[in-house]
Structure 1
Amino acid sequence: MSVKWTTAFVFLTLFITPVTAADIDDVERIKVSGQQLKHSANYLVLSRDDFVDSAQNLNDVLNQINGIQVRQISGVGNPAAVSIRGSSSKQVQLYIDGQLVNDGQFGGFDLNQLPVENIQSIEVSKEQAIGTGATPIGGVIRINTYNPEQDSLRLSAGLGSFGYQELNVVKNSSFEQFQGAISASYVASDNDYDYLVPQPVAHPNKSIVEPLLNNDFEKVSLSGNGVWVGEQQQVRLNGQYINQEKALPHYQINVRSNESSLDLEQSRLALTYLVKRIDSVLSQFELEGYVDSRDEHYIDSIPQLVRRDGRYNTEKYSVSLKPTFLVEQWTLTPFLDVNQQQFTSRSFINGATISCNGISACDIRAKTTQWLVGSRADWQSTDKVASAHLLISQLFDDSSNVALNQQNGTKENNDSDFFSAEFGTQYRWRTINLGAVLSRGVRMPTMFERYGDRGLFKGNGSIRPEQSDALSLSADYDAAHWSLSSALYVKQISDAIVATFNSSGIGSYGNVNDAQIHGVELQADYQLSAAISFQGQMNLVDSKSKSPFFAFNNKKLPGIYHQEYSAKVSIDLSQDWSLDVATQYSKGLYFNLGNKVEQHTQGNGNPSDRLLSNINLRWQQRGFVVNVGVNNVFDESYQDLANRPAQGRNLFIKFSFEE
């Protein structure tokens, strides 16, 4: 039935005859130039000027947004987990230039695959989709890459604690109808912060604080971006190349002879072709596509013992079609997205191939193809005080997995489909904006969740997609010197996918629990004078799981802080100097679904509750900018994503010049 209604809605948008029509801007690409275009409790846009001179990476930017939590394994270059309003990281969708880049094998994404110098703007939607696409469970982060507008040259360099250094070059050129930009970025860090080692080699029976060894990181990024603008056509081509090396420490013993690492080489090429003002009905037609290749080399090695090598290749291909129609006060956008991903692994122990014997993990080739068909309708009243949108989509997923190092290895197949939808409305009354969003979101199982590793981690052919039914209400008020934004939301998550293990240590993923999330967000901004402003934020989340498994029933959801409070003051000290001071207190963190480890760790260790205070001092004059930042000023200890003590106070200085 859901397929029938989706198809009917798509064809309806193709055959409606308009009464009047007018040109519209590109609804999928927001042009941002030096200012924040829109802000509400559910959706905001950050422009390049908001972060390019002060942020080390995208983590720093997103951590300042109310309702978003970013936790990572400590140190530059390590994995990060993003949660929006209580979601898991896999439930968050990451887009680059309108193209979904979540990994089909494991579901996540590299939050910092693009340097901040290569970002034009960042859009965040905490509930619904941005433009077209499947409705998410955990919101959307959309990165729009740097879009040159004029000739310019930008140079920047950064230095920081624990051996951090970075260097960036961006050159823009404009030739009549063509604008182009090339950039290069280098980032490196020793990541040798002090760490409480449980069993150091010299004293295995006594925990000792030592500088963390073999944790260095180095990354080179190259990118190019070209835009040709004709009278009715626009072509944009952009590409990125990344080469990074990340050493992996041995947290338990911190041995100096450790040579473990995870190296990455990745390239991406994307093309957008846009035709505008086709006729009075068809306003524009957009064709987008990208190819992405990612090679990883994992080494687990301690000399004279054993060396394990893993080589992983991921290939991605995507194409999307989006015509846009205008019908009086309506904008109608049917769409078709096709995404294909293939993951291949090769594993070795001391140079020999690992046999696939039902115990050891198998080398595999996994493949998934997703078709997404749907349509979006946007309506705005003639006086522009009211607006609404309706988005529906049908997602079809076909995947397979075959063992490569098993004689007569069998091939496993799985296919599924899911319907998602959302309806949102906005109303402006004087200086108050009211909004409501009702949605049904989806997250398809990853290939690893479906098939496991063909060893002790088994597949589950009957696993179902995660889904959510959510309602969000928002209110935003703007006055002469202050503003207030607020949101209330409730989310019912069904068929949550969780890893479980039996008494023999054999594991698999399954739909083992449901969960309900309630939350409230408040943010107040006050302009005391032309030079002084204040901001306060509160984010409260209440969660409860429901499961037939006693260990997972009636528990708090893990991986998120259930309470967050923050305050910030910004002062323009003079025409050239400005100062930002921010403090955030977070509590109520659980590390696992059974809640065995809550916000205070058992036995030795520091509490995971955290109080972080950051200071940024900025000097700017005639194209020169110097930003000095101190993060975690009071060296407050807390736990990282893996429940290990995280790094403390760190200093970051960035020098920028642009002409």
Structure 2
Amino acid sequence: MKLKFIAFLLFPLIGFSQQNNSTPTDSIKPSNVFMLGEVIVTNHQNKDTLNRVTSKTMVSQNKMDVSRALNMLPGITLTASGPRNESMVSVRGFDLRQVPVYMDGIPVYVPYDGYVDLARFTTFDLAAIDVSKGFSSVLYGPNSLGGAINLVSRKPSQKLEYDGSLGMINENGYKGNLNIGSNIGKFYFQGGFSYLDRNSTRMSSNFVPTANENGGQRDNSYRTDQKISFKIGWTPTEKSEYAIGYINQQGEKGNPVYTGSDPLNSLLLKPRYWQWPNWDKESFYFISNSNFDDKNSLKTRLYFDRFKNTLDSYDDATYTKQTKPYAFESIYNDYTYGGNLEYNTKFIPKNDLKIAFHFKEDVHRENNLGEPVRHFIDNTVLVGIEDIYKVTPKFTVIPGVSYNIRKNTEAEDYNSTTKVISDYPSAGASDAFNAQIGFFYQLNEAQKLGATVSQKTRFATIKDRYSYRMGTAIPNPDLKPEKAVNYELNYTAGLFNKVTFQTALFYSKLSDAILNVSNVQPGKSQMQNFGEAEYLGVEAQINYEILSNLSLNVNYTYIERNNITNPNIHFTDVPNTKVMGTLEYKPIKILRLIANSEFNSSRFSTSYGARVPDYTLLNFYASGKIAKNFSIDAGINNIFDKNYCLVEGYPEEGRNFFVTLRFFNN
């Protein structure tokens, strides 16, 4: 299997060679971004390094999955769900239920709980990742309470483009990928294949062994992720474009056991022995933009997304038997379909008006092995209007408003004692209004100032409303949307053509927040619209070209999250302070050296006060071109072998290294 995989990746190297004088990580140009997949509010958005990660940056620092790539941005914190071995991020304190994830503007988050394991989304075929924080376009659709994340794919610009890699990670992991594209005038094709496999991750040598983990290679930490994607496009005119795409992701992973010491954590005495034999996602989509004339156009997105997932719970650390009461095999078989229309008109002078309609149906099907399947269906509709009003050449106002409604059409309950399926009591439709406005002023050629305010909502997920949480919770089908009002002031300045400074002050006020309320009945909790909270902070970034071959990037985030309703219940997973610095040096044209350091202050892991300490990491990367079409990348992460956690009881990887051979023709 591995030999066939390597041969498949090496095949494109035979017979293709073009002159290339760029360094290897410069191979993805701005023209390779699939612009039809972007959701752009302002015309300078795609140059905003405060809110965009490019493929060049992802490749240069070996960020193989979306969560690690996003962590390079200010305002974003790498988080994890340790008990489920899921990698996620927080955007200005909002989690992924409140900041949905899109692929080329199409929603890809999981229907049941609104989360998505970003470690399953690799970056090998991406051109960029865009983040909207707080003030996000109504064109994204519903549930963008704290913003939105859009993964933007590639689009070829030449008759033949290819790039790929073969690499080793530590002594027991490997990766490989291949991207091929062709643009022949009115038609183009883009395809990609990637494979990432690790038998385990290595723990820090400073880790103290526990009853459930003896150190060295982290037990049950394996992962395998394979991805195939392709896109076929037609551009009959300069301003019209039509594309059909397909993505197939297949993943499996282990779930390392809790190794902490928190006496209040039930996993201390009753650890989970979990494995995920499949985490598979398949997406079909059609995106088009039809220009009727110079002032009117229609953009269409249609999609069908399928998600299949299996979780196996075992008796013990041998992962062979399922005989005890807590052992089970849980099966999800979900799908989502929908679409959106955006009508764009510039008929009114100085105005760029967009009218949007979204429809989405989420179908969740679940059962444990041997049990009947339960069905849940949600329909969500949005109607929105957004305008870009150029008051003067320097002053722009962007207002937007939308009406959102979600209706549950099916929800089934299961009684494990009688083995009978019944319908939950019907819940009324839930609706919400969103409104926002942004003011942007170009002070001069080098300085921009912005101010935004947005009122956003998030509907409760199927899990929020109907989950028993393994017998510890009471369903609440009548949950209302949670609300947030987000405020932001931002400023960008360029100095002496060498320094770019960007900063943003932000404040969010949450109401009707959906929180888990304990002891609604003895020993049982319930999700309720119970909370009020506020998030506030600042983010800043400096890019400094010290010399023509030496540059420095530093970003800083400070955030406070206050639980107004109950200050004794702590918000989890987000540190108050995060600082990241990157120094890049090119001593000669064919060699690039990068040193990267990251600091995170301590953070709460539980609402009752368990914490993980602060940590500082140092990483080093090097990339050298060894021939016209080849380069070698190598790097060391966590150089000082820091023993650290994002979640108490789930230590992160210790010192690790990689070596990668890259090939390319542009």
TM > 0.5 between the two? yes
2:53–2:128 Cα contact (<8 Å) kept: yes
Q: Distance in 2 between matches of 1:626 and 1:78?
A: 31
Is 1:369 the counterpart of 2:384? The answer is no
Q: Distance in 1 between matches of 2:56 and 2:269?
A: 41
Q: Distance in 1 between matches of 2:304 and 2:149?
A: 20
SS of equivalent to 2:215: strand
What is residue 580 of structure 2 aligned with on the other side? 566
What is residue 357 of structure 2 aligned with on the other side? 336
1:27–1:131 Cα contact (<8 Å) kept: no
Is 1:308 the counterpart of 2:328? The answer is yes
- CA drift of 1:556 comes to 4.5
Return the match for 1:619 from 624, 637, 644: 624
- CA drift of 1:74 comes to 7.3
1:74–1:647 Cα contact (<8 Å) kept: no
Is 1:397 the counterpart of 2:406? The answer is yes
- CA drift of 1:60 comes to 2.6
What is residue 122 of structure 1 aligned with on the other side? 129
1:126–1:140 Cα contact (<8 Å) kept: yes
1:456-515 CA deviation, whole Å, 9 max, x = no partner? 422113322111112100111101221211111111111221223327432221122211
- CA drift of 1:394 comes to 0.8
Q: Distance in 1 between matches of 2:184 and 2:543?
A: 42
Q: Distance in 2 between matches of 1:499 and 1:65?
A: 30
Amino acid across the alignment from 2:635: G
Q: Distance in 2 between matches of 1:507 and 1:196?
A: 35
Residues 165-244 of structure 1 correspond to what in structure 2 (within 5 A)?
165-194=174-203, 196=208, 198-200=210-212, 208-231=214-237, 233-244=240-251
Amino acid across the alignment from 1:70: L
Q: Distance in 1 between matches of 2:38 and 2:322?
A: 53
Judge which range, 613-622 or 45-54, deviates more. 45-54
What is residue 12 of structure 1 aligned with on the other side? none
What is residue 64 of structure 1 aligned with on the other side? 72
What is residue 160 of structure 1 aligned with on the other side? 169
Amino acid across the alignment from 2:309: E
- CA drift of 1:97 comes to 0.9
Q: Distance in 2 between matches of 1:226 and 1:287?
A: 16
What is residue 427 of structure 1 aligned with on the other side? 441
- CA drift of 1:28 comes to 6.5
1:484–1:524 Cα contact (<8 Å) kept: yes
1:560-585 CA deviation, whole Å, 9 max, x = no partner? 01111232211112111111112121
The share of aligned pairs that are identical, in percent, is 19
What is residue 470 of structure 1 aligned with on the other side? 486
What is residue 450 of structure 1 aligned with on the other side? 465
SS of equivalent to 1:230: strand
What is residue 144 of structure 2 aligned with on the other side? 136
Q: Distance in 1 between matches of 2:580 and 2:474?
A: 43
Q: Distance in 1 between matches of 2:322 and 2:248?
A: 35
What is residue 610 of structure 1 aligned with on the other side? 615
1:381–1:387 Cα contact (<8 Å) kept: yes
Q: Distance in 1 between matches of 2:532 and 2:273?
A: 42
Residues 78-89 of structure 1 correspond to what in structure 2 (within 5 A)?
78-89=85-96
Q: Distance in 2 between matches of 1:249 and 1:98?
A: 33
What is residue 297 of structure 1 aligned with on the other side? 310
- CA drift of 1:37 comes to 4.0
Query: Cα 1:408–1:610, aligned 2, differ >3 Å: closer, same or farther?
Result: closer
Judge which range, 503-512 or 428-437, deviates more. 503-512
2:274–2:311 Cα contact (<8 Å) kept: no
- CA drift of 1:642 comes to 5.5
Q: Distance in 1 between matches of 2:321 and 2:98?
A: 42
2:189–2:231 Cα contact (<8 Å) kept: yes
Q: Distance in 2 between matches of 1:622 and 1:99?
A: 37
Query: Cα 1:554–1:407, aligned 2, differ >3 Å: closer, same or farther?
Result: closer
What is residue 289 of structure 2 aligned with on the other side? 274
Q: Distance in 1 between matches of 2:119 and 2:653?
A: 19
Query: Cα 1:597–1:143, aligned 2, differ >3 Å: closer, same or farther?
Result: same
2:464–2:527 Cα contact (<8 Å) kept: yes
State TM-score, norm by structure 1: 0.84
What is residue 6 of structure 2 aligned with on the other side? none
How many residue pairs match? The answer is 596
1:11-43 CA deviation, whole Å, 9 max, x = no partner? xxxxxxxxxxxxxx9786379xxx9941265xx
Return the match for 1:579 from 575, 580, 593: 593
SS of equivalent to 1:49: helix
Is 1:636 the counterpart of 2:627? The answer is no
Is 1:320 the counterpart of 2:358? The answer is no
Judge which range, 131-140 or 433-442, deviates more. 131-140
Return the match for 1:96 from 82, 97, 103: 103
1:196-216 CA deviation, whole Å, 9 max, x = no partner? 55324xxxxxx7435322321
Q: Distance in 1 between matches of 2:649 and 2:526?
A: 23
Query: Cα 1:577–1:130, aligned 2, differ >3 Å: closer, same or farther?
Result: farther
1:582-622 CA deviation, whole Å, 9 max, x = no partner? 2121113111233x2134xxxxxxxx311111111111353
Is 1:543 the counterpart of 2:561? The answer is yes
Query: Cα 1:272–1:113, aligned 2, differ >3 Å: closer, same or farther?
Result: farther
Q: Distance in 2 between matches of 1:305 and 1:235?
A: 50
1:497–1:510 Cα contact (<8 Å) kept: yes
Amino acid across the alignment from 2:155: N
- CA drift of 1:646 comes to 1.9
Amino acid across the alignment from 1:432: Q
1:391-416 CA deviation, whole Å, 9 max, x = no partner? 11111001131125643612333320
User: What RMSD, in angstroms, separates the aligned Cα atoms of the two structures?
Assistant: 2.8
2:100–2:144 Cα contact (<8 Å) kept: yes
1:202-245 CA deviation, whole Å, 9 max, x = no partner? xxxxx743532232111221111111110264210110112222
1:486–1:521 Cα contact (<8 Å) kept: yes
Q: Distance in 2 between matches of 1:112 and 1:138?
A: 21
- CA drift of 1:336 comes to 0.4
Query: Cα 1:335–1:74, aligned 2, differ >3 Å: closer, same or farther?
Result: same
Query: Cα 1:51–1:473, aligned 2, differ >3 Å: closer, same or farther?
Result: same
What is residue 439 of structure 1 aligned with on the other side? 454
State TM-score, norm by structure 2: 0.84
2:179–2:192 Cα contact (<8 Å) kept: yes
2:53–2:70 Cα contact (<8 Å) kept: no
Query: Cα 1:48–1:564, aligned 2, differ >3 Å: closer, same or farther?
Result: closer
Return the match for 2:154 from 137, 146, 159: 146
- CA drift of 1:131 comes to 6.1
1:155-214 CA deviation, whole Å, 9 max, x = no partner? 2112112622111112223344211122211110012423655324xxxxxx74353223
- CA drift of 1:100 comes to 2.2
- CA drift of 1:115 comes to 2.7
